[in-house]
């Protein structure tokens, strides 16, 4: 991440990590968020995300306990405490499954309850194969998220795990994601 990274209107980012294969690159992005921008980062993982990268790995890169679907030992109500703490909820990578659940108010996991309980802006960073991204149902869900006031970062072409070709849809570089989120949050505050 370049030293000229923009100042963000948020300091505490709750990363809601879903079970796309893109989650394997997320620890590196979190390190950039912490050390290049000085952001505080906490992570909540879906069960599918935890099958790719463990909560323990995210605890190591954030310096904070990461939360998965296993009950923690902390006092309090995890989804409420995490949602209150965050200045921004960054759903990254956001799968078609989580996008659909969030668009319809389904809160059947710690991750989805954090999204639903968040008072802070919520920004989704989609990651899936192009065939899924292009489905009318996924596009309707994305439009519903936008109508509900959430941000959806436009995905870029990425290497697809299944073919090794640039046919996947995923996250832009983390600096671009955070700039997009900062612009989105700034627009919400200004009007």
- Window from 42-46, 74-78, 104-108, 156-160 with minimum mean pLDDT: 74-78
Q: Is the pLDDT of residue 53 over 70?
A: yes
pLDDT digits (tens, 9 = 90+) for 84-101: 999 999 999 999 999 999
Tokens of residue 184, six digits: 């989105």
Query: Average pLDDT for residues 42-64, to the nearest whole number?
Result: 95
Burial profile 21-49: b = 16 or more Cβ within 10 angstroms, e = fewer: bbbebbbebbebbbeebebbbbbbbbebb
Q: Is the pLDDT of residue 72 over 60?
A: no
Instruction: Give Cα 161 to chain centroid, integer Å.
Output: 20
Instruction: Give Cα 66 to chain centroid, integer Å.
Output: 14
- pLDDT, residue 79, reads 83
Which residue ranges form the domains of the chain, and what is each CATH number? 12-190 (3.40.50.1950)
Omega prior to 25 cis, within 30 of 0: no
């Amino acid at each position: 991440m370049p030293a000229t990274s923009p100042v963000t209107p948020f300091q505490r980012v709750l990363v809601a990590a879903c079970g796309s294969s893109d989650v394997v690159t997320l620890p590196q992005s979190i390190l950039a968020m912490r050390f290049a921008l000085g952001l505080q980062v906490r992570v909540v993982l879906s069960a599918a995300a935890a099958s790719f990268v463990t909560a323990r790995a995210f605890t190591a890169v954030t310096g904070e306990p990461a939360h998965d679907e296993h009950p923690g030992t902390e006092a309090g109500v995890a989804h409420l405490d995490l949602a209150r703490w965050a200045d921004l909820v960054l759903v990254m990578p956001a799968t078609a499954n989580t996008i659909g659940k969030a668009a319809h108010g389904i809160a059947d996991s710690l991750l989805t309850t954090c999204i639903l309980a968040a008072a802070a802006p919520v920004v989704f960073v989609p990651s899936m194969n192009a065939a899924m991204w292009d489905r009318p149902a996924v596009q309707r869900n994305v439009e519903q998220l936008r109508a509900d006031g959430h941000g959806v970062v436009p995905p870029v072409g990425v290497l697809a795990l299944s073919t090794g070709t640039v046919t996947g849809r995923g996250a832009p570089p983390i600096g671009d994601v955070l700039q997009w989120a900062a612009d989105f949050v700034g627009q919400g505050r200004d009007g």
